[in-house]
Structure 1
Amino acid sequence: MSERPPAATIRTQLLIPIHFPDGSTTTARVFTFDGLVDGREHLALGLGDRALGAPPADPAAPTLVRLHSECLTGDVFGSYRCDCGPQLHESVQRISAASGFLLYLRQEGRGIGLYAKLDAYALQDAGLDTYEANVSLGYDPDERDYTAAAQMLHALGVSRVALLSNNPDKARQLRRHGVTVARQVPTGVYLSTANARYLRAKAGRGGHTLDITAAERPDDEVVSADEGREA
């Protein structure tokens, strides 16, 4: 059963040029919101034709959407301990090509915050996996709530999505809040020796659709496995 959350409204929107370290560029229409249930400063980035404010070419087709949880260490500093930075880059490129939205959600460390995430890293260095570390600190394995994401999509007029994600919980939560997830579109698998245990935990304990075996390589280079991806 789905239950539509309280309405949020668009607060501001403006164009921002985006530049990645590899030299790729795009332009995003960035939206802020009033009325989000968690009170956090989440952003929506309209990419491709959505950056121009153009309506979708096919109104019946699901909108390509990525829910991306903030990761300072991966998104900004390029840490190889996770796959967040490469996933963010891939998502911006693919959504820019197809037109849609990237929701940048202020939910660091699967919802436990930056300092606690770094505490969890220390516990992982001592042998725990990423979920066990959160629990050891007194948190749930994953504390993220996507109610605000559903509010943002409703405010943007998006009710049917192709969800760019390997995480089935995102789809479940969006459906619960009145967003139709027509299909999930997997991202690449960005594997290195620094994040192998982390990705295996996401696949084994978090149920993420990650084919770790297909991406394994015997070095530190990040590798993207493209099997099963949609253009």
Structure 2
Amino acid sequence: MSDLPTGPVPDRLRRWELYAEVPLLLASLLFLAGYALFVLTDHDARLWRDLGLTLVCATWALFVVDYGVRLHLSGLGPRFVPTHGLDTVVLLLPLLRPLRVVRLYTAVQTRRDRPRLSLYARVMAYAGVTAVLLGFSAALAVYQQERGAPGTSIRTFGDSAWWACTTLTTVGYGDAVPVTPVGRIIAAGLMACGLALLGAVTGSFSSWLLQVFRREDEKEPPGDV
């Protein structure tokens, strides 16, 4: 661990997060790919299912290491767990890693003194990508729970993907609904996440429009009274 950043604890933590951002992004994609391989592959194809499970376990181990390093560099000790609740939840449920986009939205809101329009656009773009990844993750999780369940209306992954789309967009046609307890818990979480992502996109877009209109008003000469 000789390559760990040195200096004050907060600076070391920020530098570690900067270094780990891209590797963790790739690990998240590998985790999702491994989970999809494990869920969508036929039970008879044990080689592919084992490969998917190996990817899931290996990337999850990376998330645990990252969490431990950040806990150490923060200098907070056990207080790191409650003060970084989102990180803790994401560690326990890696399929929720797309929710880390909330940090970007918070960064936008705290830059009121010097707003950057490009940052608003980034938040909207990241929120859109997050919605796709989160919907795909939820579709996989629900399909894993619902397939073969008595009385289920989600019999294929296509049914599960359609359900995820209608849930994320808060449309909720009701033609495909989970019937298992775990499936319904996932559905409730996806509903909450859908509202949060929708709020992040609409909030950022509204703030961006206000900045544009304010700048246009400042350019116009005062009108005659």
| TM interval, short-chain normalised | under 0.3
Higher strand share: 1
TM-score (norm. length: structure 2): 0.26
Question: Greater CA radius of gyration, 1 or 2?
Answer: 2
Higher helix share: 2
The higher-RCO structure (CA 8 Å, 6+ apart) is: 1
